[in-house]
Structure 1
Amino acid sequence: MRSLSFRARVTWAAALAAALVVLVVAALTAITMVGNEYRQRDRRVDAVAEALGGNNNLTARGRGYVSTLRLDGTVLRSTPVTLPPAAEGLSTQVVDGVSYRVRTRELNRPEGALLSVGIPEPPTRDVIGRLVPRLVLSGVLAVILAALLGWLFAGRAVRPLRELITQTRTLTAEGQHTPPQVSGAAEAEELAEAITDMWSRMNSAQESTRIALDSARGFAASAAHELRTPLTAMRADLDIVRTHPLSKPELDEIVGDLIRTQRRVESTLTALGQLAAGDLMRPEDRVRFDVIELFDRVAQECSRTHPEVRITVRGDRAVLMTGWPDGIRLAADNLLRNAIAHGGATEIELSAVAIETPDRRPSLALRVDDNGVGLPVEERERVLRRFERGSAARVAGSGLGLALVSQQAALHNGDVVLSDSRLGGLCVTLTVDAS
């Protein structure tokens, strides 16, 4: 069973509130009218007592009052209804079951005499009884009017919520519709903002999932494509070892081929994994870091594995940027390995300088210069794509090293430019957004 709608709840609340107000007003009205009735009766009995005090005809009848004159407790004169003795002032007396409002005052003639004048009091229910029909009618009309107004105004109040419900139902899992935007009620606007925020988070999560799936598919497709040839070669070598008697030189040559092929497979899988990891980098993981300090660590680690290569870092001041330090480090590692393995460099220089871009964003130019064999101009654009290698490469590779650098440049809102180095080899300039 569904709960009452907001509109129905407001209507019921308005009707109940009106009924409560009517009851309170009716009670206050009854109290006020009874009090007024009693005050008017008191003024009337005072007026009659004042008039009779100067009139000799104290026993006049037919005017809706009774009177009794006493002197020292003895009744001198009285109407057929004799009022009981009472002190001076106003009092209520009951005679033969009838209640009288009595005013007792002292007269000058005869001296010391007390005159009591009484007016019958109708029961309080008679006074209130005259009000009941009017109060009931007014109450019923007030409750009906309050319910109608509550229904009307509640309908206007929930209209933004109705619009919000209608618009929310048009949202699809594919995100083909924009989140709802309504106005007219603060609560509806806040709810619309909450739905918009939730929708944005869902779309962001959906986009992250799509990127992850695309990355996984790309990884699988690239791995299948690139590893098919080396794995086939390894299987052929193993078949030869298994089916043919080989001399030691022949066996050594095949084992060497297997080792080189295994290294190629390993480097290809590693590079593909790094590319997939780059696709999954999240904006909230960006941090502020010092590029010069990062270059120092990369240079020290590379010098330990290649002591014959002189690697220097230009710059003695901190150069800060906001981004993914692991990504920048991955790009620098790949550039150093490429310069050594494929370019045959013996001297490499790393530097980072602030530059001004046409759109005046704070940017950095990260440069890696080497004295290797360089790269022909016509190949510099091609080698930035995946599985592309330069013709001057000295050893086999996966063809993904510069593709990783290009990916990091794109992730940091920049680009990669290959040019001639002042050291005589290749210069790779990675331009990144530093903000």
Structure 2
Amino acid sequence: MTAPARSLSVRARVAWAAGLAAALVVLLVAALTAITLVSNESRQRDRRVDAVAEAVGGGANPFARGRGYVATMRLDGAVLQSTPVTLPPASVGLSTEVVDGVSYRVRTRELNRPEGALLSVGIPEPPTRAVVGRLAPRIAVGGVLAVVLATLLGWLFAGRAVRPLRELITQTRTLTSDGQHTPPRVKGAAEAEELAEAITDMWSRMNSAQERTRTALDSARGFAASAAHELRTPLTAMRADLDIVRTLPLSKPELDEIVGDLIRTQRRVESTVTALGQLAAGELMRPEDRARFDVIELFDRVAQDLRRTHPEVRITVRADRSVPMTGWPDGIRLAADNLLRNAITHGGATEIELSAVPIGTPDNRRMLALRVDDNGVGLPVDERERVLQRFERGRAARQPGSGLGLALVSQQAALHGGNVVLSDSHLGGLCVTLTVDGS
């Protein structure tokens, strides 16, 4: 299969256009020149025939001087006298007459002697092609030179005009998917600059899409690796319990114990998979999904949902006014929900307090401090940094878990441009403070 023929380059198109434009201009100038020459020649010829008619009419014998002109005198339509060439009858004034194939410019005037006679005097009128033909070779040579010169200048100037495009093509070919090269920047032509900006925008979008794809792949690999690592032990334990049930005769107390162990292990697996999925979802949050919302209103919804499942826990939201911020509402809600459930499940808290306050200077309060205080067992100082990592749990935790709750909170804080700090709470337990960028 043969490759399709390339179209003409911009430079060649400009050169052709310049040559064609020059040819059209030459033709127009030639036509105007011919019209002007013919018009001037006609006016000069009229003046000559007037002068000859005046001279001939005033002479004693106008037919004796017949060189260069022809003349005919008529009286009542009859020819009284004439040169060898007899002009046809004509009215007083200028006219063009043809005799024996020769065109004459004729002036007819009245004579005093004899009274009522008409004298027609004519001079030969050369054909238009004879008038124009004298300058035709010069116009043709000048036209050819003008077309050639216009084509060459068009080629030269077009080369300078398309140089930024050539530079843009060269730089664009150096772009690779590894992001090592920056998009091209050219100067010199508005179209080339606009095209470079369009390529830069497209390159940025492609890089963003590629980065999201890479993040998704990394997240999927991390999810698979973490799931395989964390689920291997509980799944092995479940298989061992099932093998015992299948191969050994068991009493009802022993069977109940194994079934209870299976249920607890299944819940642990479910909790781990859910947390891993939430971590992966957090890594895939998109900037366009950010929204403006009220943190206090979100805390109220989280507290109401948790009161339904844990009516024995007193949950309070401390706020005198609304606290708006821009971010991912689902992410902040996930962090708040995990902190409350951790405080109840692992800290044994019976009282939890949520609050959100702007921090910074009065003129620049972009940062917010989101706090969750509880009256639980707290967390030793030497464990507070460690439990923020994945699959890490406090040694005093009361219930089994995946070790991903605080890792989820730390992830959301980082996504919102902040961090997490664990400290002692004024309620006697643990205080978790998320510092986030609310702008």
Hey, what's the Cα distance between the residues in 1 that align with 2:173 and 2:354?
Answer: 56
Asked if 1:36 is matched to 2:72, the reply is no
Hey, what's the Cα distance between the residues in 2 that align with 1:94 and 1:253?
Answer: 135
CA RMSD of aligned residues (A): 1.6
2:285 aligned counterpart, secondary structure: coil
2:59 to 55, 59, 83: 55
1:4 aligned counterpart, secondary structure: coil
Hey, what's the Cα distance between the residues in 2 that align with 1:117 and 1:277?
Answer: 108
1:221 to 191, 211, 225: 225
Contact 1:373 1:426 in 2 (8 A): yes
2:197 to 187, 193, 200: 193
1:67 aligned counterpart, secondary structure: strand
Hey, what's the Cα distance between the residues in 1 that align with 2:48 and 2:238?
Answer: 128
- Of the structure 1 ranges 214-223 and 62-71, higher mean CA displacement relative to structure 2 is found in 62-71
2:107 to 86, 103, 114: 103
**Which residue number in structure 1 is paired with residue 134 of structure 2?**
130
**Which residue number in structure 1 is paired with residue 168 of structure 2?**
164
2:208 aligned counterpart, secondary structure: helix
State the 1:124 CA deviation: 1.8
**Which residue number in structure 1 is paired with residue 308 of structure 2?**
304
1:148 to 142, 149, 152: 152
State the 1:357 CA deviation: 6.7
Asked if 1:240 is matched to 2:230, the reply is no
State the 1:74 CA deviation: 4.2
- Of the structure 1 ranges 71-80 and 39-48, higher mean CA displacement relative to structure 2 is found in 71-80
CA offsets per residue over residues 143-201 of structure 1, 9 Å max, x none?
A: 11111111111111111111111111001121211111111111111111111111111
CA offsets per residue over residues 220-266 of structure 1, 9 Å max, x none?
A: 11111111111112222222222222222222222222211111111
1:223 aligned counterpart, secondary structure: helix
Amino acid at match of 1:422: H
Hey, what's the Cα distance between the residues in 2 that align with 1:256 and 1:82?
Answer: 141
What does 1:318-337 align with in structure 2 at a 5 Å threshold? Answer: 318-337=322-341
CA offsets per residue over residues 300-323 of structure 1, 9 Å max, x none?
A: 111111111111111142211111
1:327 aligned counterpart, secondary structure: helix
Contact 1:11 1:148 in 2 (8 A): yes
Asked if 1:414 is matched to 2:432, the reply is no
State the 1:342 CA deviation: 0.8
What does 1:385-404 align with in structure 2 at a 5 Å threshold? Answer: 385-404=389-408
The alpha-carbon distance between structure 1 residues 357 and 217, as it changes in their structure 2 partners (threshold 3 A), is farther
Amino acid at match of 2:165: L
Hey, what's the Cα distance between the residues in 2 that align with 1:283 and 1:248?
Answer: 56
State the 1:118 CA deviation: 0.8
CA offsets per residue over residues 20-61 of structure 1, 9 Å max, x none?
A: 221222122111111111111100000111122222131243
Asked if 1:115 is matched to 2:119, the reply is yes
State the 1:83 CA deviation: 2.2
Amino acid at match of 2:420: V
State the 1:359 CA deviation: 11
Asked if 1:254 is matched to 2:258, the reply is yes
Hey, what's the Cα distance between the residues in 2 that align with 1:226 and 1:302?
Answer: 28
Contact 1:343 1:394 in 2 (8 A): yes
Hey, what's the Cα distance between the residues in 2 that align with 1:268 and 1:359?
Answer: 43
State the 1:360 CA deviation: 3.8
Unmatched segments (≥5 aa) in structure 2: none
Contact 2:66 2:83 in 1 (8 A): no
Unmatched segments (≥5 aa) in structure 1: none
The alpha-carbon distance between structure 1 residues 28 and 146, as it changes in their structure 2 partners (threshold 3 A), is same
Asked if 1:174 is matched to 2:192, the reply is no
1:356 to 355, 360, 373: 360
Hey, what's the Cα distance between the residues in 1 that align with 2:31 and 2:225?
Answer: 86
The two structures have a TM-score, normalised by structure 2, of 0.95
State the 1:84 CA deviation: 2.6
Asked if 1:338 is matched to 2:342, the reply is yes
- Aligned-residue identity in percent: 86
1:365 to 361, 366, 369: 369
CA offsets per residue over residues 371-406 of structure 1, 9 Å max, x none?
A: 001111111111111111112211111111000000
Contact 2:70 2:83 in 1 (8 A): yes
The alpha-carbon distance between structure 1 residues 361 and 353, as it changes in their structure 2 partners (threshold 3 A), is closer
Hey, what's the Cα distance between the residues in 2 that align with 1:61 and 1:215?
Answer: 116
The alpha-carbon distance between structure 1 residues 432 and 308, as it changes in their structure 2 partners (threshold 3 A), is same
Asked if 1:383 is matched to 2:395, the reply is no
The two structures have a TM-score, normalised by structure 1, of 0.96
1:122 aligned counterpart, secondary structure: coil
State the 1:333 CA deviation: 0.7
Contact 1:366 1:430 in 2 (8 A): yes
Asked if 1:86 is matched to 2:90, the reply is yes
1:407 aligned counterpart, secondary structure: helix
Hey, what's the Cα distance between the residues in 1 that align with 2:101 and 2:272?
Answer: 117
Hey, what's the Cα distance between the residues in 2 that align with 1:249 and 1:117?
Answer: 148
Amino acid at match of 1:129: G
Contact 1:68 1:78 in 2 (8 A): yes
CA offsets per residue over residues 72-104 of structure 1, 9 Å max, x none?
A: 444444322222332211111222322211111
Hey, what's the Cα distance between the residues in 1 that align with 2:64 and 2:402?
Answer: 133
Amino acid at match of 1:379: E
Hey, what's the Cα distance between the residues in 2 that align with 1:231 and 1:93?
Answer: 121
2:228 aligned counterpart, secondary structure: helix
- Of the structure 1 ranges 113-122 and 212-221, higher mean CA displacement relative to structure 2 is found in 113-122
Contact 1:61 1:79 in 2 (8 A): no
- Of the structure 1 ranges 123-132 and 346-355, higher mean CA displacement relative to structure 2 is found in 123-132
Between Structure 1 and Structure 2, how many residues are aligned?
435
